Amino acid sequence: MRIKAYSLFLLVSLSAIYCSCTSKKASYEYPDTPQATFEYIYIDTLVTGGDGLQLVTRIYLPKGEGPWPVVITRSPYPQRETTGDNLKQGQQYVKHGLGYILQYCRGKGGSEGTYKPNIYEREDGLALVNWVAKQDWCGSIGLFGASYTALTSWIIADSLPGKVKGIYLHHYGVDRHLSAYKDGLFRQDILTGWAIDNANEIETKPFRDPDDPYYEAYRYMPQAEMDVNLLGAKLPWYRDWITHTDYNDPYWHTGVWAQLRSIPPKIKVPMTIVAGLFDHHIEGTIKGYELLTGETKKNSRLILGAWNHFYQITPEAHTPMHAKDVDVFDDQFNWLYQVVALGRIPKGEVLVYYIGADRWETYPAWPIPVKENKTYYLTGQKDKTHSKAYLLSAQKEPDKTNRLKFIYDPQNPVMSMGGETLFNSPKRRGSQLQPEVGYRDDILFFLTEPLTEPLTIAGPVKATIYMSSDCEDTSLTYKISEVLPDGSGYNIRSGITTLAYRNDRFGGRQTYTPHEIVELTVETLPVTWQIKPGSRLRLEITSSNFPEYSIHSNYPGIWSEQSKVRKANQTIYIGSEYPTHIQIPLGEENL
C-alpha cells in the first residue's frame, strides 16, 4: 500500500494509496492487506477536550455495524477546508478497512481555545483517545503522526486505554533541548522559522523569500527582542526556547518537556519509529527508540532513511535507486493494519539505509555494530592537488607543532551549504554539492589521498581539536564531505561546539581564558554512508554555520541577549603534542 504526498509536510495530508511492498530488506511482507472495497461514512463533529473546550474532529468509518479498527492523529496544521469529506488519506484508509480520525489542536482549524505550542496536547489528546475508546463503533485503536503530529501521540503514549494496540510515529524527538541546541548554539533554521510560521500572535507574516527565508529575523540582535521589534508580537514561548540555553536549566526538566522525556520507558504497546539522516529531529527521534524498554523493543522498529523532514532523498549524486525501497508511507498503513485490525504481534528490528552503498540493512538493535575506528590526523603538509588545502592523513604529524589560523567575523558568517538539521532553507538542507576548496579564507581545508578501499561510516564521527582564541567565548565547527573522483564534493556530517559548553553539552556554561589552548571533543549526529574507492575525505574547520545554527557573537553569555559582535582570532594546533584528528566508526565493508 503506497501513499503519495498531498502535502510534503504532513502525513495527515497524504493523497493516494495503493498496494505494494517493495523492500527486499524490510522483511515485512504484510499478508492479508485488504483491497479498497469498503464504503464509508464521514462525520464532522466536536469532541470535548481539556478545560471543556470543543475541538474539531473529523471521522471516517466503514459502513456497517462494526466495531471497527480506527487510527487517530491530531494536528495543528489545518487544511484550507477544515470540514467536509476532503481528507485524501482518510478516504484511502477507510476504503481499505481502517477507520480514520483527525482532530485539530486547540485554537487551530476551528477548535476552541488559544493555541500554545506543545502545552495542551496531553490533556486534549487523552480526552480524544478515551472518548474514541468508549464508542460502540471502536474495536481497536492505533496512533500515528509525523513531526508535531507525532508529538501529539508521544505525549500521551504512557496513559493509553487498552484498545490502543500500536503507534507509528515519524520525525519527532522526545528530548526538546537536543532538538533545539548544540552546545549553546540554537538551531534557527528550524525553530525560529517554525515559530514565525506558526505563531497565532503574528497578525501579518513577513515575506518568506525561498532563497533567504527569514534570515533578517534570524540575525536580529538581541534575538530576545526580535519578535516584538520585527514581527510586532511578543512570543513568550519562543523567548523561553532562546533564553534557556543550558541542558540542565529547570525549563527543560519541568512541565511538558520533562513529561515528554519521561514517557518512552512507560510505553507498553509496539511502535514503529521513523527517523531521517537529514531530519532535524534525528537525534531525539532515535533517543525515543533507545528509551523504550527491552520488552517493548522486542515488538518495535526503528527505520532510518536517507531523507530530510520532507522525505526528500539526498544526495542525488550517489544515484540512490533503492533509498525508497522501504517506503514509510506504504509501511505505515500496512503495519497499522496488521497490528490494529488483525491483532498481530509485530517483530522488532532496526532498518538502516547506507548512502553510497545504496542498500538497506537489517539489525536486531541500535546502535548498529562498529568493527573499529579509523583515525585521520590533521597535518600542516599542503595537499598535492590543492594549494589551499592541507593533508588529512592516517599517519600522525611529525614532532613539530603547527599553528593554523583564521579570523572569524560574525558579520560575515559561513553560510550553511548542506546540513542535517536545516528545515526552512530548501536549497541548503540535506547533502548538497559543496563549494570548491579554498572558497573562503576563514575556513581551513584538509583532504585525504584517494581511498583505495571502501570506507563505511556507521555512527557519529568524532573530532578532537586543539584550539585557542583571543575571545572569552566563541564557536568552532567542522564538516566532513566526500569528494568524488570527478572533484565534486557532498557533505556527510558536521559538528559544532562553543568554548562555553566545551566537552560537556549536558552541563552548565563554563569560562575560558583568552589564548588558552584547550582540547575540544565534538561528535556529529550518526550517519550511515559508504565512501567508495577513488573518493577522498574532505574536512573543513571554521567558526560559523548559519542559518543551521545561530551566529556566535564572540562574547560570553546567553546568545539571544547579545546586542553586539566582534571578530575572533582563532588558532588550530596540530602535531605530536596536539594530535588534532577525526575518528570514524567503521561498519561492515562488504555492503
DSSP string, 425-454: -TTTSBS-BPPPTTS-TT-EEEEPPPPSS-
Domain residue ranges in the chain:
2-174+263-363, 191-252, 372-586
Provide the pLDDT for residue 13: 36
What grid cell was written down for 551? 551566529
pLDDT at 291 over 70: yes
Average pLDDT estimate for 34-48: 92
Provide the pLDDT for residue 210: 86
Tens of pLDDT, residue by residue over 388-426, are: 999 999 998 777 889 999 999 999 999 999 999 999 999
| Superfamily name with CATH number, domain 2-174+263-363 | Alpha/Beta hydrolase fold, catalytic domain (3.40.50.1820)
Cα–Cα distances (Å) from 105 to 114, 119, 371, in that order, read: 9, 11, 46
Confidence class of residue 316 from pLDDT cuts 50, 70 and 90? confident
Provide the pLDDT for residue 19: 32
User: What does DSSP assign to residue 298?
Assistant: T
If you write DSSP's letter for every residue of 234-256 in order, what string do you get? Answer: --HHHHHHHH--STT-GGGGSHH
Confidence class of residue 5 from pLDDT cuts 50, 70 and 90? very low
For 351, residues 6+ apart whose C-beta sits below 8 A from its C-beta are 23, 25, 26, 27, 301, 302, 303, 304, 326, 360, 361, 362
Place of cell 542498500: 359
Judge whether 2-174+263-363 and 372-586 match in fold: no
Tens of pLDDT, residue by residue over 540-582, are: 999 999 999 999 999 999 999 999 999 999 999 999 999 999 9
Which burial class, exposed, middle or buried, applies to 251 when counting CB atoms under 10 A from its CB (0-12, 13-18, 19+)? middle
- Give the span between the Cα atoms of 300 and 320, in whole angstroms: 27
What dihedral angle (degrees, nearest 10) is formed by the CA atoms of 66, 72, 77, 79?
-20
Average pLDDT estimate for 159-180: 97
Q: Is the peptide bond before 585 cis (omega within 30 degrees of 0)?
A: no
The residue type found at 101 is: I
The HSE-up count of residue 342 (CA atoms within 13 Å, CB side) is: 16
The HSE-up count of residue 86 (CA atoms within 13 Å, CB side) is: 7
pLDDT-wise least confident of 1-15, 41-55, 171-185: 1-15
Higher pLDDT, 11 or 418: 418
Provide the pLDDT for residue 208: 87
Confidence class of residue 110 from pLDDT cuts 50, 70 and 90? very high
Higher pLDDT, 319 or 285: 285
Which burial class, exposed, middle or buried, applies to 248 when counting CB atoms under 10 A from its CB (0-12, 13-18, 19+)? exposed
The residue type found at 60 is: Y
- Give the span between the Cα atoms of 97 and 99, in whole angstroms: 7
Provide the pLDDT for residue 319: 85
Provide the pLDDT for residue 31: 66
Average pLDDT estimate for 317-337: 93
The b-or-e profile of 23-52 (16+ CB within 10 A means b, else e) is beebebebeebeeeebebebeeeebebbee
φ/ψ of residue 407, rounded to 5: -110, 125
For 270, residues 6+ apart whose C-beta sits below 8 A from its C-beta are 165, 166, 167, 296, 299, 300, 339, 345, 346, 348
Q: What is the mean pLDDT of the chain?
A: 93
CATH number of the 372-586 domain: 2.60.120.260
pLDDT at 370 over 50: yes
Confidence class of residue 225 from pLDDT cuts 50, 70 and 90? very high
Provide the pLDDT for residue 39: 95
pLDDT at 491 over 50: yes
CB 515, CB 433: distance < 8 Å: no
The residue type found at 107 is: G
Provide the pLDDT for residue 29: 52
Which residues face 17 on adjacent strands?
A: 3
For 430, residues 6+ apart whose C-beta sits below 8 A from its C-beta are 278, 308, 312, 314, 315, 418, 419, 420, 422
